[in-house]
Structure 1
Amino acid sequence: MKRRLLGAATAVVMSVGLIAGCSSNSSGNTDGGKVTLKLGMWASSPAEKKLVDKQIAAFEKANPNIKVKEQVITGDYLQALQPMLASKTAPDIFYVDASYAPTLEDSGVLAELDDYIKKEKVDTSDFAPAALEAFQWKGKTYGLPKDYNTMALEYNKDLFAKAGISEPPKTWDELIKDAEILKSKGIAPLSMPIDVARYYPFITEFGGSYYDSSANKVTLDDSSNVAGLKFFLDNIHNKNIVPPKDLGGDWAGVPFSQGKVAMALEGAWVLPFMADSAPNVKFGISDFPSADGKSGNMTYTVSYSMAKSTKHPKEAAKLLFFMTGKEAEKMTADSGLAIPSRVSQQSAFLDKNPEYQAFVNGIKSATPYQFGTYGQNFVDAINKATEQGALKGLSPEKVLKQAQQTVESQSQQ
């Protein structure tokens, strides 16, 4: 469950696996005069597949000359997708997680969509900007977001009451004060992993940035990053922040569900997990805390993108625009499986799911979870260095310098 979203807008599936029912790409085939397209997706849940089935049925009804076949990829999605893209046997359109989108965009295997967007008069202004920007590279658009997720602060109401805390903290200063009260009562304050996928908002809220998207350049050792990382490491050291593994869990939702910690910083995937594993725990959800009046967050989002090798680009673009259009997005909103990426559909989503308000609010100040073409090498380098900083008491300057050197050495290989 660690980074698992309701629906599909989460992180990449990273375990080794096989392709279900995939021997060759039939996107060039016709069936009784119909164009046949393939839609690639990963296996998230039966409910998600049911939603996609419904959306495809609506598309086929509106476009009787186009037949759509689903291609479900299980296991390591990216590992399976890359050779298909290289051999030009990839699905016509398919899911792309924002974390590795720049790598695929830069490699030239995805189709540029801007001309199709202009021709079909697709309203891109309706997308949450942080979600749309995640699939734009060097001034071009290579995908449209289908849904997204952000982080929020989850807090245990009973543990707050035990400590005499009446409301959740809105700022980090307030959280630190609450943490001291909680610790005095023998309660672990906040759980989150030593993972850039969670703590990066600290960096941006305190005025830093690990990555310059305009130049596709890693900027880990920039002095502006010291304050945010110092804040994170200091609070690890003084036990205001407790890593999940120290509380017996592989992600923060586990100790939170067990009542071992008062607060967690996780995405909306925590809600179905809590409903299944801890239905009797009383908890609330608040906006991600701010620093000195500046709010930050991460957005985890997934696009529909088009293979550059598709034999039917016009039809594939039509399918892509439908699957990210208002009708399909309304189906997403009605399903409650994920936060729709179109702002116009979010009120409908919140009417049925008011508990997600803080996650919807989070998109306003979010940074996409991606670090250009450096991808997993970057994540591994900064996470390893940050863990060393937490375990050995290294200064934030040394942590950042070490990570920068690792990334630079890898890029030269």
Structure 2
Amino acid sequence: MGIPHLPRRSFLTAVSAGAAAVAAASLLAACGDGGSGSGGKVTIEWMDIATTEPSKTIYPKIAKAYEAAHPNVRIKLTNLENEAFKSKMTALTASGKVPDIFVTWGGGVLKQQIDAGLVKDLTSPASGLLNTVTPVSLKPYQFDGKTYAVPYDMGMVGFWYNKRHFEKAGIKAPPKTWAEFLDDVRKLKAAGITPIALGGKDKWPGMYYWAYLAMRIGGMSAMEQAAKTNDFTGPGFVGAGQHLKELVDLQPFQPGFQNAGFDTPGGEAASVGAGKAAMELMGQWAPAVEKDASGKGLGDDEGWFPFPAVDGGQGAVTDVFGGGNGHALGKGAPKEAVDFLAFLINSENEHELVSSGAFMPVVKGAESALTDPGRKQVAGALATSTGFQLYLDQAFPPAVGQQVNDSVAALIGGRATPGQVGEQVTKAAKSQ
């Protein structure tokens, strides 16, 4: 991830200093911790991935509102693009010093940081805050009965598509099977429309296809077994590579996709948002990033459908792939950092975050703020899911996750076979 991933997120109006002070006081009590009255100046180092609108405007506004209510606290926010963030965090983790607050997708990456003694256990200090969020959004950050991060977004990956392009190509309804999906790709190409946009340079967007295909072919049991045995050479994973190669052989992606980023100018999101490609396989943040990257977005012309089933596969279409986005605290973070995270998703800010069209709700009851049909579909699919798989580049230790991304990118680029992908990932996993 990804997203990982997940640069995402209309404009959050600044909360007045008076309102912020009242909200902060109540949150302080809810968290059972706080530092607004602790005396001396406190600086909170916050490293995030809010490089696109609306989050790159939202987050500084929230930070300033908090500072206005807590004059002794300074929030120092640094935003990095996804891949730069991952690289920076890898280096910081190796150095033994992480920021006070940093974005996390949970899974094996977070577990490695926890095992290194770098992350604060939030089970007790943030108990009041954690009780306000939905249980499913906490799962990626829980290990051995303890919680190590506070979620701010929770969702899943699916296909976002241009309804007008589908109509022009004669596609009357989204595909329900992989065979139908491939047929729709052919119809789009025949209509002179680029079927799929892909940020090949970032690699993780391509991994989504392999992961979902493995889930659809082998089922959740195959994913769970691979995680236990570190063996990705089974029929589900090899089959995933074979089916992905079927797609690649149709040449469905935009010109220059291998050098395109996800959210960069002319990249994956921009191509879909500008109407230059019919669809992308991406998380719930896709429409917001498409609008930011292209300057317009699809609006009512955008639809959503889940990853299709594979004929003969063991997985269900209700098994979902995705993850949460949260914030973890460095071991030495000041107590004010917990209070700030509570402020970040208080009822007013959470409503604005969800209403912005870029975040999915994590606070109990906040789903009422969803208005977009596609995002409501995402929420519904999550609520009725029969299985959940975290992003593969986050579910496993960093070296394994990177190998997944690298190997799948090589397959898409014609430099690896379906069997070699599984062998390479297995080798990386067994060497940990």
Q: Does TM-score exceed 0.5, indicating one fold?
A: yes
Q: Where in structure 2 are the equivalents of 1:11-410 lying within 5 Å?
A: 33=39, 36=42, 38=44, 40-42=46-48, 44=51, 47-48=54-55, 50-52=57-59, 55=62, 67-75=72-80, 76-77=84-85, 91-98=99-106, 100-118=109-127, 120=128, 122-123=130-131, 126-127=133-134, 129=136, 131-192=137-198, 193=200, 195-208=206-219, 212=224, 218-239=230-251, 241-242=252-253, 245-246=256-257, 249-250=260-261, 251-257=267-273, 259-275=275-291, 277=294, 279=296, 283-291=301-309, 293-310=316-333, 312-313=334-335, 315-348=336-369, 350-351=370-371, 353-364=372-383, 365=385, 366-371=388-393, 374-392=396-414, 395-409=417-431
Give the distance between the partners of 1:51 and 1:78, measured in 2 at CA.
Answer: 22
How far 1:34 moved relative to its partner? 5.9
Give the distance between the partners of 1:177 and 1:393, measured in 2 at CA.
Answer: 25
The 8 Å contact of residues 273 and 297 in structure 2, kept in 1 or not, is answered as: no
Give the distance between the partners of 2:112 and 2:145, measured in 1 at CA.
Answer: 15
Residue number in structure 1 paired with 2:25: none
Range with greater deviation from structure 2 (242-251 or 141-150): 242-251
Mark the CA change 1:139 to 1:47 in structure 2 (over 3 Å): closer, same or farther.
Answer: same
Range with greater deviation from structure 2 (160-169 or 91-100): 91-100
Give the distance between the partners of 2:73 and 2:228, measured in 1 at CA.
Answer: 36
How far 1:222 moved relative to its partner? 3.4
Residue number in structure 1 paired with 2:27: none
Gaps of 5+ in 1: 8-27
How far 1:185 moved relative to its partner? 3.7
Give the distance between the partners of 2:322 and 2:72, measured in 1 at CA.
Answer: 33
How far 1:167 moved relative to its partner? 2.5
Give the distance between the partners of 1:279 and 1:30, measured in 2 at CA.
Answer: 41
The 8 Å contact of residues 51 and 335 in structure 1, kept in 2 or not, is answered as: no
Give the distance between the partners of 1:159 and 1:82, measured in 2 at CA.
Answer: 41
Residue number in structure 1 paired with 2:7: 5
Range with greater deviation from structure 2 (241-250 or 251-260): 241-250
Mark the CA change 1:336 to 1:186 in structure 2 (over 3 Å): closer, same or farther.
Answer: closer
Mark the CA change 1:270 to 1:318 in structure 2 (over 3 Å): closer, same or farther.
Answer: closer
Give the distance between the partners of 1:399 and 1:215, measured in 2 at CA.
Answer: 16
Indicate the structure with greater strand content: 1
- Structure 1 counterpart of 2:174, which letter? P
Gaps of 5+ in 2: 10-33, 262-266, 311-315
How far 1:70 moved relative to its partner? 0.8
Range with greater deviation from structure 2 (328-337 or 273-282): 273-282
Deviations 1:69-121 (A, max 9, x none): 21122444455567777888755444334473232222111111223355x37
The 8 Å contact of residues 123 and 147 in structure 2, kept in 1 or not, is answered as: yes
- Structure 2 counterpart of 1:202, which letter? L
Residue number in structure 1 paired with 2:23: none
How far 1:151 moved relative to its partner? 2.6
Give the distance between the partners of 1:361 and 1:244, measured in 2 at CA.
Answer: 34
Mark the CA change 1:373 to 1:46 in structure 2 (over 3 Å): closer, same or farther.
Answer: closer
How far 1:285 moved relative to its partner? 1.5
How far 1:397 moved relative to its partner? 2.9
Give the distance between the partners of 1:215 and 1:394, measured in 2 at CA.
Answer: 22
Give the distance between the partners of 1:177 and 1:30, measured in 2 at CA.
Answer: 60
Secondary structure at the residue paired with 2:403? helix
Secondary structure at the residue paired with 1:38? strand
Give aligned pairs, total: 380
Mark the CA change 1:2 to 1:88 in structure 2 (over 3 Å): closer, same or farther.
Answer: closer
The 8 Å contact of residues 86 and 109 in structure 1, kept in 2 or not, is answered as: no
How far 1:165 moved relative to its partner? 1.8
Q: CA RMSD in A?
A: 4.1
- Structure 2 counterpart of 1:116, which letter? P
The 8 Å contact of residues 67 and 75 in structure 2, kept in 1 or not, is answered as: no
How far 1:162 moved relative to its partner? 2.4
Secondary structure at the residue paired with 1:108? coil
Give the distance between the partners of 2:357 and 2:273, measured in 1 at CA.
Answer: 22
- TM norm structure 2: 0.71
Mark the CA change 1:268 to 1:115 in structure 2 (over 3 Å): closer, same or farther.
Answer: closer
Mark the CA change 1:69 to 1:298 in structure 2 (over 3 Å): closer, same or farther.
Answer: farther
Range with greater deviation from structure 2 (82-91 or 161-170): 82-91
The 8 Å contact of residues 7 and 52 in structure 2, kept in 1 or not, is answered as: no
Secondary structure at the residue paired with 2:195? strand
